A and B are shown apart, each in its own frame.
Chain A
Amino acid sequence: MSRSHISPIERHRRLDVDFRTPGGFGRLTSVNHSIVGLRFIYTGLFFFLVGGLLAMLIRAQLATAESAFLGHAAYNQIFTMHGTVMMFLFAIPVLEGLALYLLPKMLGGRDLAFPALSAFGYWCYFFGGMILLAALLLGLAPDSGWFMYTPLSGSTYTPGINSDVWLIGVTFVEVSALAAGVEITVTVLRIRTAGMSLDRMPLFAWYILVTAMMIVVGFPPLILGSILLELERAFDWPFFEVARGGDSLLWQHLFWLFGHPEVYIIFLPAAGIVSTLIPVFARHPMIGYGWIVASIVATGFISFGLWVHHMFTVGIPHLALVFFSAASMLVAIPTGIQFFAWIATLMAGRPYVRLPMLYLFGFLVVFVMGGLTGVMLALVPFNWQVHDTHFVVAHMHYVLVGGMVFPLLAGLTYWLPVASGRMPSERLGVVAFWLIFIGFNLTFFMMHLTGLKGMPRRVYTYDSGLGWETLNLLSSVGGFIMSIGVALVLLDLFLHFRIGQRAPRNPWGAGTLEWTLPKPPPSYNFGSLPRVESREPLHDTPDLPRALAAGEGLLAIPRPDGRETLAVEVVSGRPAHIVKLPAPNWMPFLGAVFTGVFFLSFLLKLYPLAAVGALLALGVFLRWAWSHGRRQDPEPLRAGEGIKLLPQAAVPAAPGWWGLLFTLVADGTVLAALLFGYLFLWTVAPNWPPPAFIELQPLIPLLGALALLVGLLAARGALAANRRAAAGMRGIWLLVLLLAGLLAAGALLAIPLGAPPPQTHAYFAVTAVLAGYGAFHCLLGVVMAGFVLLRCRAGFVSALRQLDLRVLQLWWDYTSGAGLLILAAIMLLPWVLAP
């Protein structure tokens, strides 16, 4: 079967019809990963220019002492937005875009696991970014720093809309990061080509996989923090206000619980670029693949244990400081291992230097320096001296520009031929590199000294005579040199797409699958999917491009309305089933528009309209879910090589189930962070215990617990009945589930409704949020149960096609567990901790 019966041209025609995006307004319906990935990259680069422009304004203001260029109001918005734009609107989206664009091409897939989800994520990012940009142009941008410390960012000290813009705009953008996190995790784990076991994956995929998992558990604490702060600002529920039992330190913990992993979320993909390029330019396979994978995983874990090093000066017990000091240094070890593995590979090979290598050289110098100052900052006593000074500004830019921008430029230059089919210029590019490198070092090396000489961060003006003038002027000059370099990169890119030399199929001599594609790549990537036998398939079979186009791989014959790719077993890479990919459609765009209506109305305090937006978005998602599946049991399909595979509608653990699993991991992290906040306030906040505890009749929580247990059983009962093909019993269980869910939600909501209002004390506010979290999940579970009931009626569910019920069961496993935990926290904690 591996020989196709159709010509390559016929194959191309049939696949392209299915995969290509329509023109005109139809572009808004695109779900193709190449298009969505490039949109992320373009939009991210646009915001890089915005952030860079803001940086130039900052450097213009600080070039001289007592400058009258910008006032404090403008400056505080500008430096806040510089950080916010660079972190949330440039660094993460660009790397996500690169990953979304490249992963299927490197893993041998025709698209991602959930192409519509990443398209939805893109529109969330786009609209959220536009909210922030509009606020900046209207002079209403956030102005309490990108870290938004309370109480400064609270309604007392920032009464305007500025902080709300940050909380809502950034949360909107984070929806897209979470979507990408789930998308990438499931894609790397399941959507690969035949034979690509975990240990044959390109290292880039390992880096991106760990990064995506870090996003899934790293972003929820900040999302929770933003929700709590917005509740405090909008409805006066005190979480951070000391007088009513809150604590501003809670915000710092939640923020840095996200904020430190965030640094590695940005660094790891960039390091993945380095690990991809080094073996290519060394002309030698990567040495220490296993060491590197272990280092990536170790970095992921360690990065969640260091957040306190942003808080060394808040008055933390000394022993804890020593612990976090040691943990912060520990992260240098896996990073060091990667560096030595890169050098070992270069030594073993016959390296040649082209523009991407030049950027890697910049990365090496700049990032090592950032790492060294990072070790210095991890040493608590020294941190006490330079924390919140320009020394930290210098360190952070060495780490982020060194660890992200230089590798990104290396990666963009390296992969440009894939997208454009042209070679990057070695002349203009080299000049641009040196301008950026010299300008960067001039700007930021000086800041180490400015900081040591006592200049705090985030000052809009400074007095002359303190010894800061010369250094600041040099920094500003350097900043403008760097800007010229960036402008040259843009010019180079422009010329590249116009007059760049045509690139051969595999210009750098790489061994990974993205270089087997025609240039620019077709909408479906691979005419047929390769069977992979090593980490560098293109080196094994230099003839691979022709063979794949000729249909010598898997899934070589497109079925009508096909859009198929392979799902593999997680570890072995053995083909497991066939994934049906979505056609271009309006769901992602409309879903994001209605989500945007929700966020924007909330921002403008139009709460009824916000509710309408949320309901419309839910409607779009349900409509989308309805369009999946089939009404008859499918036969196994021929995949080539004599293999027959079931389509996803008939497999128990289809990508959708995995997607929900990782969504629930993120969701569970929100709950964990909330419970952490509850305990933190109880043990650390000054005005505790609260004036009174919630007096509850045991009846209500017991009823709630019972309903949750019934829900747990009913979801499993429905699944079991379905396996026995007992449709009547299945319907009864689903009805029981509906009622139990409603009862559980009612019982959970009754708790805060019977208590003093949340405005009175953080205790009541936290209890209300906990109960609300549980009730929200129950109600969503009720909607899902009703939805599945209708799906059963409509014939989408059978003993073989049980995905709907499996998803429902997973949801209720989580909801029941979370609900019981919440009830226990509400009921038992006062009993345990109260005096």
Chain B
Amino acid sequence: MSALDPAGPAADALAGVWWVMLGGSFLILGAVVALALYAIYGRGARRSGITPRLLIVGGGLVFTPAVLAALLIWGIGAGHALLPLPGEREVYRIEVRAHQWWWEVTYPDAEDGPLHAANEIHIPAGRPVDITVRAEDVIHSFWVPRLGGKIDALPGHTNVIRLEAPAAGVYRGQCAEFCGAQHSRMALLIEAHETEALEERLALLSPTRESDSAEAPGAAAFQEHCAVCHSLDPRTRGATPAPNLADLPHRATLGAGTLPNAEGALLRWLRDHQDLKPGNRMPRHDHLDPETLEAIANHLEGPR
């Protein structure tokens, strides 16, 4: 999660800017403090030949503007890699819609048409990815520090940020703009894959659920209690979008990073989600008996 452990061209450039500015800052701070101490305690300060004019004009009107101009000219280009400018290289596209408190992810160019998922973004390694960011309710901010800077998700506006992961791996991100009760529990993962692995992973989003028997207890309960908001079909968003659950068993975490998706975690989430992530938009399930919850969990985790 550290911007000082950068991956990819954008974050590399920004970390480089940081180290140069840090060095420069320590030099300037040291010089100013030394000058002030010399002025107060230095015995020869008054005869040092450092005249007021030299200090005010030389320091205030020459030195400061020169440093600032140099920094601006050199540094402003460092953000270039984050801009979705047209270029030679083929760009992979992702759409993100931020919700209180989860990330809706859409693959607009997937084979079967746009596919929807949540809280994880799977991208090709070594390729620029343009991420289109919107907000569905309040303002959020999309940020994956190891890959680059952040961009706000605003209601009614669309922003695009370009990120590139140099190698396969998982990069954690988190909402950066305060967005209410569970701003703290709004993480996302970007996983970069080699080309084939990406296809395999996206294949897990295919709508195989249709073959499930609607008679199975879990499926019926899901239809009754969950399907109002949640969809198991990655091709549909649903009227009141809640996280699409098509690839739920394969996700690394539940509740947008709230708990690792380990053995038994889903049942715990279904039972205790308002304690694990208080205030989240899913109603309590106190009215459902343990058997029903378990059936739903089994159905969601069931064989594919």
Contact = CB atoms under 8 A, between A and B. Distances in A.
Name which of A156, A466, A687 has the most chain B CB atoms within 10 A of its CB. A466
Interface string A150-172: 01100011000000000000000
Nearest to B35: A343
State the majority secondary structure of interface residues on A. helix
6 contacts: A248-B139, A339-B32, A340-B60, A343-B35, A456-B176, A687-B156
A76 B101 CA distance: 15
Contact of B46 (A348, A369, A459): A348
A347 B46 contact: yes
A454 B149 CA distance: 11
B72 A329 contact: yes
- Cβ-closest 4 pairs across A and B: A384-B149, A381-B79, A337-B60, A242-B156
A346 B39 contact: yes
Interface in B238-277: 257
A291 B59 CA distance: 13
B189 interface: no
A318 interface: yes
Given A385-B14, A454-B146, 9 more contacts: A72-B181, A247-B156, A249-B154, A341-B60, A364-B32, A368-B29, A372-B21, A385-B145, A387-B141
Interface string A83-99: 00000000000000000
A379 to B, nearest CB: 5
A320 interface: no
B46 A466 contact: no
Interface stretch (B1-9, B215-223, B294-302): B1-9
B25 A454 contact: no
A682 to B, nearest CB: 14
B127 interface: no
Q: Which of B13, B78, B83, B180 has most chain A Cβ within 10 Å?
A: B180
Given A346-B40, A385-B148, A686-B156, A365 B68 contact: no
A460 interface: yes
A329 B68 contact: yes
Interface of A: 71-73, 76, 144-145, 149, 151-152, 156-157, 242, 247-249, 287-288, 291, 313-315, 318, 322, 325-326, 329-330, 332-333, 336-341, 343-348, 351, 353, 357, 361, 364-365, 368-369, 372-373, 375-376, 379-389, 452-463, 466-467, 685-687
B157 A315 contact: yes
B73 to A, nearest CB: 10
B36 interface: yes
A307 to B, nearest CB: 16
Interface stretch (B47-55, B227-235, B284-292): B47-55
Given A152-B180, A346-B40, A353-B40, A337 B56 contact: yes
A453 B2 contact: yes
Contacts of B150: 313, 384-385, 387-388
Interface string B122-166: 000000000000000111010101101111101111110000000
B36 A71 contact: no
B175 interface: yes
B157 A249 contact: yes
Given A326-B72, A381-B149, A459-B183, A336 B60 contact: yes
Nearest to B63: A336
A197 to B, nearest CB: 23
Range of interface residues on B (Cβ < 8 Å): 35 or more
B72 to A, nearest CB: 6
Given A340-B56, A343-B36, A382 B176 contact: no
A380 B74 CA distance: 12
Nearest to A467: B2
B176 A344 contact: no
B174 interface: yes
Contacts of A156: 137
Contact of A313 (B45, B151, B185): B151
A144 B178 contact: yes
Interface string B8-46: 000101100110010001001100110110111010011
B207 interface: no
B105 to A, nearest CB: 19
Contacts of A381: 13-14, 17, 75-80, 82, 149
A313 B152 contact: yes
B61 A333 contact: yes
Contacts of A353: 40
B278 interface: yes
A308 to B, nearest CB: 13
A685 B60 contact: no
B65 interface: yes
B25 A372 contact: yes
Nearest to A318: B83
Given A247-B156, A384-B150, A288 B138 contact: no
Contact of A315 (B78, B159, B184): B159
B1 A453 contact: yes
A351 to B, nearest CB: 5
Nearest to B28: A372
Contact of B40 (A145, A351, A686): A351
B76 A322 contact: yes
Given A242-B156, A333-B68, A151 B29 contact: no
